Chain A
Amino acid sequence: MKILVTVKRVIDPYIKVRVRADQSAVETDGVKMAMNPFCENALEEALRWREAGIANEVVVLSVGNDSCVETLRTALAIGADRAIHVKAANTPQPLATAKIITAVAKREDPGVIWMGKQGIDGDYNQTGQMTAALLGWGQGLFLSSAKFADGVVTGESEVDSGIRVIQVKTPCVLTADLRLNEARYATLPNIMKAKKKPFETLTPEELSVDASDRLTTLIVNTPPPRAGGVRVADVAELVSKLREEAKVIA
């Protein structure tokens, strides 16, 4: 089985983001970028499945501008076999991204598409579900555990009331939660080897996908910060403040 893994380039999760002065977007120029954390878990799971003999090839896909090449090179260095970059001026919105992934999946015919459950930039949490819809495939979402046997994935999905266990037939789209695994890092010898791995560049036009935006961003603001509070000396002062000032307890 072939596994397709999508990887997104986002601002490093440990960086505090700031809005551009013209309020058009969050500033990304000169900001440290990284692979979306959930995509790291998706890639890790695919590599483990290859090591377990479930898969024989792991293909990584990224959609976006030229800087995605770096993220794909990282994915190859971590262990993916082959990379596909679908070059788009800016990161397309989830529906357009799902259409691009669908078009690539139709060319590649993977048994499973592993994706991160959401990008930590746009926080949409849509692209996996939309890709599954467009392909007409099953979906296993926010997985903290996934086991493959006989063409069926048994997954533990993190939902509001706890854990939901489902079985999804392949081909399917699976999305990773952080508790799925602990992602490995690239080692120096593998970074060197990654440079020789196959790398293909495509465009939405070549895939016959209309990647235009449906949402127009009018303005991006920084939310008003919470006014700084006070330190209380002890529990007695805390309880008195909660009762008499905030009036939140009886």
Chain B
Amino acid sequence: MSALIIVEHDNQTVRENIRAVVTCARQVADSVTALVIGDNCRAVADATAAIAGIDKVKLVQHAALAHGISENCAPIIAAESAGMTHVLMAAGAQAREWLPRAAALADMQMITDVIAVNAPDTFVRPLYAGNALATVQSSDSVKFMSIRPTAFAPIEGAGSASVEEISGGADSGQTTFIEARTSSSDHPELTTAKIVVSGGRGVGSAENFQLLETLANKLSAAVGASRAAVDAGYVPNDYQVGQTGKIVAPDLYIAIGISGAIQHIAGMKDSKCIVAINKDPDAPIFEIADYGLVADLFEALPQLQAALE
């Protein structure tokens, strides 16, 4: 069994969730090759080679691969999948762009959002926003799978894999990258943070979200939001936690002014400890919260802030 894992990066640093992908890859295969696709990203390949559990790193660099355009990147994954038994990548926007396209080029039925491995061909994945879990068996020769990084403990330690640069990359000419609008934030990354402070429509405005930002600073927490808060324009889309946003599983998730739609709960219900602060005692979020506080957030948050001083 040999696994190919696809490395997520920004041409400079490796996204931390790769360690969870290695853990999953080691459960299905005895040899793990990492594939780095990008431009001017030798440092990424070197950093990947220094992660435990990786036997070999393959590096493809080309100007057309700089911005992760799937039309240019997916054919490389499809070609490199030949001879592999598994292709794995951390579930997220990049995997959603690359893996289904690569799997279709290789004529394989991808498996999205794997949360457990029962056997090298049998996996557990959520359906219906996590309200059902399906155990599926794949008959494909190469199993393309995106895996939920929150479901696999990151591999620890260092490694010393070899890096092989392979030629490849071409511009399909179909799609052009124009710009990335990233929201600048001093907070930790949402999907790997130990604590997440998350707000909903109940927060009421973009200005009020500052209260959550302040609390998050105090706790070294990431800031998240429900879809309602994003739709209302309080925060940018990359704050969204939920079925179609980000999936998080921190040690502590503090839901503030969030009612608890099933689509939101799908994105945070695996958190170890959930706190809900909401003035509506009947809000569904209380049904899944470990600690529920019925309170006006404009009174509770300053008190919470003071209690943590």
B244 at the A interface (CB under 8 A)? yes
6 contacts between A and B (CB under 8 A): A16-B262, A166-B176, A216-B137, A218-B137, A220-B134, A249-B195
CA distance A52 to B176 in the complex (A): 25
Which secondary structure dominates where chain A touches chain B? Answer: mixed
A185 at the B interface (CB under 8 A)? no
A21 at the B interface (CB under 8 A)? no
Q: Quick check: B130 and A179 within 8 Å, CB to CB?
A: no
Interface size range of chain A in the complex: 35 or more
Stretch among A42-50, A57-65, A71-79, A167-175 lining the B interface: A167-175
CA distance A102 to B161 in the complex (A): 41
Q: Quick check: A124 and B112 within 8 Å, CB to CB?
A: yes
Chain B positions near chain A (C-beta within 8 angstroms): 67, 69-71, 74, 92-94, 96-97, 100-105, 107-113, 122, 126-140, 172-183, 191, 195, 219, 227, 230-231, 236-238, 243-244, 246, 251-252, 262-263, 269, 272-275, 286-295, 300, 303-304, 307-308
Q: Quick check: B135 and A130 within 8 Å, CB to CB?
A: no
Pick from B97, B133, B269, B307: contact of A220, CB under 8 Å: B133
User: With contacts A232-B291, A249-B252 known, is A162 near B181, CB below 8 A?
Assistant: yes
Q: Quick check: A219 and B135 within 8 Å, CB to CB?
A: yes
CA distance A236 to B219 in the complex (A): 16
CA distance A122 to B112 in the complex (A): 9
A39 to chain B minimum Cβ distance, whole angstroms, is 14
Q: Quick check: A215 and B93 within 8 Å, CB to CB?
A: no
A199 at the B interface (CB under 8 A)? no
A123 at the B interface (CB under 8 A)? yes
Q: Quick check: A16 and B183 within 8 Å, CB to CB?
A: no
User: With contacts A17-B132, A161-B180, A214-B138 known, is A246 near B93, CB below 8 A?
Assistant: no
Q: Quick check: A217 and B275 within 8 Å, CB to CB?
A: no
Instruction: Give B287's nearest chain A residue, CB to CB.
Output: A228
CA distance A165 to B137 in the complex (A): 37
Instruction: Give B125's nearest chain A residue, CB to CB.
Output: A123
Contacts of A166 in B (CB 8 A): 69, 175-178
Stretch among A103-111, A190-198, A237-245 lining the B interface: A237-245
* Contacts between the two chains (Cβ within 8 Å), count: 249
B183 to chain A minimum Cβ distance, whole angstroms, is 5
Q: Quick check: A117 and B132 within 8 Å, CB to CB?
A: no
Q: Quick check: B132 and A158 within 8 Å, CB to CB?
A: no
Q: Quick check: B96 and A141 within 8 Å, CB to CB?
A: yes
B287 to chain A minimum Cβ distance, whole angstroms, is 7
Contacts of B237 in A (CB 8 A): 144, 158, 162-163, 179
For the complex of A and B, the 4 pairs showing the least CB-CB separation, nearest first, are: A138-B174, A214-B109, A130-B104, A129-B100
Q: Quick check: A129 and B108 within 8 Å, CB to CB?
A: no
A114 at the B interface (CB under 8 A)? no
A229 at the B interface (CB under 8 A)? yes
CA distance A243 to B131 in the complex (A): 31
Q: Quick check: B219 and A238 within 8 Å, CB to CB?
A: no
A198 to chain B minimum Cβ distance, whole angstroms, is 30
User: A114-127: contact bitstring with B at CB < 8 Å (1 yes, 0 no)?
Assistant: 00011011111111
Contacts of B140 in A (CB 8 A): 214
Contacts of A239 in B (CB 8 A): 304, 307-308
Q: Quick check: A214 and B96 within 8 Å, CB to CB?
A: no
CA distance A145 to B180 in the complex (A): 14
Pick from A127, A131, A178, A235: contact of B307, CB under 8 Å: A235
Q: Quick check: A162 and B132 within 8 Å, CB to CB?
A: no
CA distance A217 to B128 in the complex (A): 15
